[in-house]
Amino acid sequence: MVVSLKKIPLLIILASLCVLSSCYFDKEDLLYPTNCISANDVKGPKFTEVESLIKSSCNGCHLNGGNDGGYNFDGFCSIVNSWNAIYNSCVIRSDMPPGSPLNANQKQMITDWVNAGHRYTD
């Protein structure tokens, strides 16, 4: 391939944009799925409610090693990293838990946590 010299600076800019964007730290969760907290993080009240809701309502299928549909919620990072799937299945589609959807208060707990930023610290 023949590249004219005038185009080289443009190619360098494009190449560095690709490199920079692929290293952007938003991708950290995808690269390190268990890394959802920092050393000084304290568990937030909204997350605490969602966590206990999940422990009581998702048992038998997604807890104690259960991995139905490829989702296990034993660790808090797995809850944090699955916020979108949890919100969609429990609140939007109401198809989890199967056959006995969450009540309005329980759905609201998930919605409040998601709206607050769906973090461990929220």
Considering the rule CB under 6 A, would residue 97 count as an interface residue with ligand HEC? yes
> What character string, x for contact with ligand HEC (CB under 6 A) and - otherwise, covers 38-77?
----------------x--xx-xxx-----xx-x------
Instruction: Work out which of 36, 80, 90, 91 binds ligand HEC, going by CB under 6 A.
Output: 90
Q: Most distant CA pair in the chain: distance in Å?
A: 66
- Dist. CA 62–CA 40, nearest whole Å: 28
Contacts of 42 (CB under 8 A, 6+ apart): 121
Per 3-state DSSP, the chain is made up of helix, strand and coil in percentages (nearest 5) of 55, 0, 45
- Residue nearer to ligand HEC on the CB measure, 80 or 90: 90
- Residue nearer to ligand HEC on the CB measure, 21 or 95: 95
Q: CB of 73 within 8 A of CB of 62?
A: yes
Interface residues toward ligand HEC, by CB under 6 A: 54, 57-58, 60-62, 68-69, 71, 82, 85-86, 88-90, 96-98
